[in-house]
Structure formats: C-alpha cells, structure tokens
Amino acid sequence: MAEMDEPEKKRTRVVELTEKMVVEGGCGGSCEWEGRWNHIKKFLERSGPFTHPDFEPGTESLQFLLQTCRVLVIGAGGLGCELLKDLALSGFGKIDVVDMDTIDVSNLNRQFLFRPKDVGRPKADVAADFINSRVPGCHVIPHFKKIQDLDERFYRQFHIIVCGLDSIVARRWMNGMLLSLLVYEDGEVDQTSVIPLIDGGTEGFKGNARVILPGVTACIDCTLELYPPQINFPMCTIASMPRLPEHCIEYVRILQWPKEMPFGDGVALDGDDPEHIQWVFQRSLKRAAEFNITGVTYRLTQGVVKRIIPAVASTNAVIAAACTTEVFKLATSAYVPLSNYMVFNDVDGLYTYTFEAERKENCSACSQVPVDLHFPPSSKFQQVLEYLTESTSLQMKSPAVTATVEGKSKTLYLQSVASIEQRTRPNLSKSLKELGLTDGQELAVADVTTPQTMLFRLCFTS
Amino acid sequence: MAATKDSKEQKYDRQLRLWGDHGQEALENAHVCLINATATGTEILKNLVLPGIGAFTIVDGHIVSGEDAGNNFFLSSDSIGKNRAQAATELLQELNSDVSGNFVEESPDKLLDNDPEFFHRFTIVIGVQLPESTCLRLGMVLWSASVPFLICKAYGLIGYMRLMVQEHTVIESHPDNALEDLRLDRPFDEFKSHIKSYNLSIMDKKDHSHTPWVIIVAKYLERWLSEHDGQPPKNYKEKEAFRQIIREGILKNENGGLEDEENFEEAIKNVNTALNPTKVPTSVEDLFNSEQCNNITAQSSSFWVMLRAVKEFVYNEGSGSLPVRGSIPDMIADSQKFINLQNVYREKAMQDAAAVSKHVESLLQSVGKPPESISEKDIKLFCKNSSFLRVVRCRSLAEEYSVDSINKDEITSRMDSPDSEMVFYLMLRAVDRFYQLHSRYPGFRKSLRISGAF
C-alpha cells in the first residue's frame, strides 16, 4: 500500500506547488517589493483638493486594480503599446489586448514593445510577452484576432475598454458592440450594463481622446461628421487629366494594375510588397512624364497606395497617457473623468482643447429611434444604397439589405459574396415598387460599420 | 550591425513624412542630456530614442529605489540599489541600436561645482524634478552657452514644462491653413503675359471648362480694374458683383440653361481669398526690424543672413513683396493648362530665389565668409517658406525669478479669473520654495512613510 501512496503524494505535491505559483503570479516572489505602488497609493490612500467629491480614500481601490478590474485594450500598435505600458504601471493587473496585425519594420519607430527580430510575429503576442516580463505580476492576455471575431460574451467580461485603433470603421463596430450590450428598463439604461469606452486617435502631431459611456453620453456615430472625409480624386481627373503626382499613382493603382495584372491573374496590389510598390512607382513615373508632371517618388507612391498616415512616438505617448488617466479615474472613481472630448496638437507650440460632445437626437447607432428612409416608390433601389453609403450620418461601406416581401425574407442586394452579388445586381436598377416593397416596410441592413443589423423604415413619398 | 540607409528609411518612414530627410539628419546630429531618470525623464527620452536621436546622456546621482522601479518602465526590480542613470541607460539604449546612450553617475550640482562646461556640448538639456537652486545655477550656465534648457516637473495629475531658449529659428513651421501665394492683386509680368495667351470668348467648350480658375479670376479682374479706375472689388457688395460677372461668363447650352463648368464654380468660390492683398506678414516684418537682421556679422547664423537677403529683395526686386512661393493648389483644369500655369509660378519663384541668392552672396562677402557657406538648396527652401518664418525667444530663468523682472502684472491679472491655471504656477513655485527651505517636499515625512504592501 505504501507504494500506491507514493504516486498519490507526488501528485498532490505537484498540485500544491502549481497552486502556490498561481497565487504568486508565477514570478517566483519578485512581484512585489517595498515601495512599488507608493505612487499609486498617494492617489488612492489620501484625500485631496482635486479628488472626486464622492471619493473615499482607502486600500481597496489598489487591490481592485491589481487583482479584479479587467481592462480590454483594442490595438497593440502605436497607441496600444503605450496604453499597455501605462496601464500596467498604473496598477492594472488583468489586461487583455486584441490586434489582428503582425509586426512590420515601419512600426519600430514608435511601437516600442517590438524589436527587429519580432518582425512578422503577431503584435498582440509580442506586446503581451514584453509587458508580462517587464512588469512582473501584470498579466496581459493576447488575442491575435480581428475585433469582429470576438463576440458579446467576450466583451461583456470587461469593466472598461480602451481603443487605440487606426480605422473609423473599426471604432464604429466597437461602438455598436457596446451599445448592443446595453440593457434597458422602462426606457432607461441599466447602468450596470454600461461598459465605458475610452477612444484615442492620432495622426502626425495631432490626436484626440474621448470618454464614451454607451447609451449615456455621445457615441462614435453621434459625432461622425467630425471626421474629415477621405480624399478620393474624381475618376475623370485620374483617367484623362492628371495634374498632381498623386493622380498619376492612382491611375496606375486603380486602372493600370487591374488591366495588366502584373503579378498574376487575380493577384491584388499589396501595399506591403516592395516589388508591387516598385512596379506602381515605375509606371507612375511614366504616366507623369507623359503629362510633364514632376514629384513622383517611391515614398509618395507608397504613401498613396497604402494611404499612409504619418506617425511619431510622442503624440501616441500623450494620447495614450490621457486615455490611461481616464481608465484610472473610472476604475477608481478617485477623480472626475474627462467630459468628454479632448483634442491635442503640437505642430505649433502646444495646443489642447476639451469640449463636451453632445448626443445626436436621432443617432443611427445609439438613439434607439428607428431611421426612416424617404423615397418615392418609383426610385431605383440603387438610390437607397447610395443614400446609405453617402449620407454623412450613416457612411456605410457596403450595406447588405434584406426585406420581408410577401411573407418571405428576400436579399435585395449583397456585395461581399460574388454569387449573391451577381444574382441581386439586377435589383439595383429596379424601382422599389417593382421589388414589391411597401410603405412602412422594414429593411434590415448589415454592414462592417456595425455588429448588429440596423433596421430602417421605408416611407414612400409622392 | 550598422543600419543600412534603406533599413533606416523603412524604420523611420512614418516620421520622415513629417520632417523629411533633412529633419532626420538634424535629429541624428543632436545630443540630448537628461538630468534625473525619473518616470517623466525616461518617458521623454524614449520619445527621442525611438525616432533616432544621435545620442543621449543621463546625469543622475540617485540610487534606484523600490518606488522608482514601480513607476518607471525603464527600470526593473533588478535595478534596485544600482545607480539610476546606468540602469535607465541600459533599458533605453535597447530601444534603438542607432542611438548612442551614455550616463554620468553624478548629481548636477556636483557637475556645476567641478565642471560646468560639461553641459556646453549638448543640443538641449532636460532637467526633471530639479530643486529651484539647481535650476537657477544650471539655467545661468546654459543661458550663457546658448544651450536650450527644458525644465519638467510632474506631481500626480499636474505637470509642468518650461522651455528656456534664447533664440530658436524655424524655417519650416508647417502652418495648417496657409493662404496661397497667387499674386492676383499684383500680377508679375510673366503671369500677365501668360493670361494674355487666353481668350475665354473664343475658346471651344472643352477648353473653356478646363481653364484654371486662377486664369478666370485674373481675366475678369483685369476687366473690372479697367472699368473701376484701377480699384479692385473691396467690400462685400463689390465682391458679390464681381462673382456675378464671373457667373455670367459660364457657357450656356441650347436651352439657355447653364453648362456644368466646375472651374467657373471654383473661381466664384475662391474670389474672396483670391482678392486678398499680397503683403509681407506682420510677423515677418517684425523679423525684418530686429537687431539680428539689421546687424549681420561673421557670427550671424545662416537664418539671419538669409532673412536679411530676403529683406533686401523685398525692398528692391520684390517691390514690397516676398519671393514668390511657387506652389499653386490643385484645381479643375486639363493637365497642360495646369502644368503651364504651375510652371509660370515655379519659374518666377526660381527667379526670385536667384535674386535673393545674390544678396546672400554679397552679405557673406561683406563679413568675410565664402559665398558657398549657404547652399542654393537652403536658400530655395527659405524663400519658399518666407511667409512662415518663426523665431521663438524665451526669457531666462534669472529674469523669471528675479524680483526686479518678475511678470507681476500678468500673474496678478490672471489670478483675477477664477478658472485661471495661474494658481498652479504659484503653487509649483511654492512647492519649490518649500523644498529649498526644508529639504523635503510638503506632505512627505520619513516618519510618516506610507505603509508598504507587507
């Protein structure tokens, strides 16, 4: 019987040791040292003239940050790296980070958690490893995924979400996701279902940070008009009367590449492939020479093809610090949060301005007011689609529309699946009446800008 | 392995698009000194090391404490007990192998006692959490050596930055909304002959609709001037009338309706700004009137020599105007018409820059310096940016602190406003004064140390 006991004893001891490691965070006792959190304790264990009126100093707040509070960082790039550093050093011990990208050489001038040897590896993984190693006791969990690959069960786990994204579409999607988590009781938002969203953005020497309480304060879509429209040159300029070097590059990208398929049939232009860019560059030079246009360079070519936004470390540092401060304030209730939109610009000296962005009464994302679409029944369906993409308050990318016609669910148009696109394309030139749509009809619209289908009401005008 | 030019271009691509290769070169020739590797200090250095500053030197006599290791990404628990300058240098150096990192395990006061000229070698000195007396001593040394000094402090959610620089000249200030330099109010000869080559009334429809708006406005302005005694449209009423005249120039189709002529719409939209009088901005006039401009010596920097040359140009060849910038905005036009118009401005800009060059040459000769001391490239860049030149001048710390020259009026008037942040300035000065008197910060007493986690 003694022999039988030995393996049991061994197993118990291994389990014991593992448990001990888990409790200590697996860093062999070097997780805490004297004075480590003094700088945070000065905020949380003392009252002061700038604290929130409801703030009570105590030791629980720090423990909450270290062991309980769950923060999600979206993006592990320019802002993401800074956010992870700032949050970890502010006491946040449980951080998740999502990023779908891998590391590129051009990231290294600011995304300081990455080194030349990391090029090609997933940003989320490398960032998490670095923080976990440099800030013992902090546990960052990476997710090498698109934000759209994660569902509400995932997002619901977090107390606060902070975004360092580089696309408006992605921001709108996150915004929509958090709005979909809201619980309404008697028309009022249940505060416990609100997950604050801190959103940061930067471009060159400019940046902004904002605090969004979904369902309570202005959301991303409430202020869609604040974003400058993307520059797209008119086709006739590109095709027949270029004047700027950019026009020549767009000509090669939009017209010449699809025609010549230089790297094989169906091989799309990859802005990250230097061979592709070189091809576009050479042909842009030729195009420019035909019209006596100067100024086409390799750098300009790459910038136009990839829609490159200039970036430096310092702007990201400032905006991430502002965002982290807001996460800290919300998590500890120690200070009054930003209300609610800060802009920063240090092109000329240093300029910053804060204002309260207001909710839009009929915001298509957060107002819960159904959006009416007004069209005469003779309008072509194409016009409805154009409205969905071109209206400044909707700015959809490629909406897929379904409706219930004669009791059956019917896809009116869907661009992203080739076979369905072909089948539904004739609907574009049909009138709403021809399609069997009626006054007051509900149209369900899906688009990359929102995780949930949006419902519109079709209202016929004469 | 030394970074190749190509790999550096790739790595620094996103920032090169902001400050160009010449900006990067200036950065790589800079040597920055940081005093005190606190969290604020290392954060500043990080943002200089990542873009490739030439070199940094950390001066810090402190030993890394548990507190330091807790709030500073560039110190680890292993660093506790080591000299803070050395520990931080290691982790900052590792960010970018292009950068040369150095450290001096010494307090700035000791260096000021024994070797104040140590600080003369730096492009800029950054002092973080320095006591008032050290700031003032160091400030004096740096002011007389013309080395800029950036003083930073951070307490909780309040931060402070004070830049002390005698004179910093900026040629490319990258203004956000610069007005175009089209000279429609005082067209130069080459522009006048160019618009003569256009006859709007006999053009075919295609040409008419693809004529640049600048030509259209210039043509109609010529007509207006001849009908109004040489006076351009001045007030809203006249400008509206002017717009209307242009509107009447839009071609009509068979039914009498207006053709779609976007270039004419552009012309109408741009009338307001197009009629802005061309003049030397007041900021540039002020520079023309400054001592440094009027007194060129062998010690004058190339900025002042070029500025004086531009001033000479303005009073001579320029007939009261700066050198033509040479760039025009994009506008609806066919390629040839646009390029031809652009070339008219570009050639004029080159001509003006050549004239400025001659002035630069004679100025250099007059102070015994070779004419090649300032390159053509630099002169061209200067001329292109002549409307946007900026000079930053700050007072010395001694002036700020001296009872005789303190900015009493401005401080007291701002204190009158309840929302003013001037109160923070006074509080921070009081904190510094407290430290000078008691050798500790308010609210911190060794006997009342905040209890640790154990």
- Taking 60 as the threshold, does the pLDDT of residue A225 lie above it? yes
Residue B5 has a pLDDT of: 79
Which residue type sits at B390?
A: R
**Greater model confidence, A36 or B417:** A36
Secondary structure (DSSP) of A22-85: HHHTTSTT-S--TTTTHHHHHHHSS--TTS-TT----SHHHHIIIII-EEEEE--SHHHHHHHH
Q: Using the beta-carbon criterion (under 8 Å), do A109 and B17 form an inter-chain contact?
A: no
Q: What residue has token string 């136009």?
A: A304
A138 is catalytic: no
Residue B177 has a pLDDT of: 86
pLDDT tens column, A165-203? 999 999 999 999 999 999 988 878 999 999 999 999 999
Residue B2 has a pLDDT of: 53
pTM: 0.91
B32 close to B152: Cβ distance less than 8 angstroms: no
Chain B interface test: which of A27, A30, A31, A33 (most B C-beta within 10 Å):
A33
Chain A residues 307-366 with CB within 8 Å of chain B:
308-314, 317, 325, 335, 347-348
User: Which chain A residues are Cβ-neighbours of B342 within 8 angstroms?
Assistant: 243
pLDDT tens column, A447-458? 999 888 888 999
d(CA B303, CA B295): 13
- Taking 70 as the threshold, does the pLDDT of residue A278 lie above it? yes
pLDDT tens column, A50-97? 899 999 999 999 999 999 999 999 999 999 999 999 999 999 999 999
- Taking 80 as the threshold, does the pLDDT of residue A349 lie above it? yes
Say yes or no: B183 contacts chain A, CB-CB below 8 A.
Answer: no
Backbone angles phi, psi at B89, to 5 degrees: -60, -40
- Taking 60 as the threshold, does the pLDDT of residue A10 lie above it? no
Say yes or no: B70 contacts chain A, CB-CB below 8 A.
Answer: yes
Q: Which residues of chain B have pLDDT under 70?
A: 1-3, 445-454
How many CA atoms does the CB half-sphere of A400 hold within 13 Å? 17
Q: What residue has token string 């990067």?
A: B24
pLDDT tens column, B143-184? 999 999 999 999 999 999 999 999 999 999 999 889 999 999
Percent of chain A surpassing pLDDT 70:
94
A58 close to A103: Cβ distance less than 8 angstroms: no
Q: Using the beta-carbon criterion (under 8 Å), do A32 and B454 form an inter-chain contact?
A: yes
Say yes or no: B11 contacts chain A, CB-CB below 8 A.
Answer: yes
b/e map B73-82, b = 16+ CB within 10 Å: bbbbbebbee
Which residue type sits at B205?
A: K
Percent of chain A surpassing pLDDT 90:
78
Min Cα–Cα distance to chain B from A115, Å: 8
Residue B59 has a pLDDT of: 98
Residue B253 has a pLDDT of: 86
pLDDT tens column, A399-428? 999 998 878 888 999 988 888 999 999 999
- Taking 80 as the threshold, does the pLDDT of residue A7 lie above it? no
Selected catalytic residue, list A27, A69, A163, A236: A236
**Greater model confidence, A188 or A98:** A98
Residue A14 has a pLDDT of: 45
Alpha helices in A64-219 (DSSP H): 78-89, 123-134, 152-155, 168-180
Residue B445 has a pLDDT of: 66
Backbone angles phi, psi at A400, to 5 degrees: -110, 125
Contacts (Cβ under 8 Å, ≥6 apart) of A263: A275, A276, A279
- Which domains, and CATH codes, for chain B? 10-165+393-405 (3.40.50.720), 187-273 (no CATH), 280-390 (no CATH)
Backbone angles phi, psi at B255, to 5 degrees: -85, 0
The total of other beta-carbon atoms located within 10 Å of residue B23's CB is 14
Q: Using the beta-carbon criterion (under 8 Å), do B46 and A112 form an inter-chain contact?
A: yes
Closest CA to A442 of A414, A413, A401: A401
Say yes or no: B444 contacts chain A, CB-CB below 8 A.
Answer: no
Q: What is the ipTM of this complex?
A: 0.94
Give the residue-averaged pLDDT of A328-355.
96
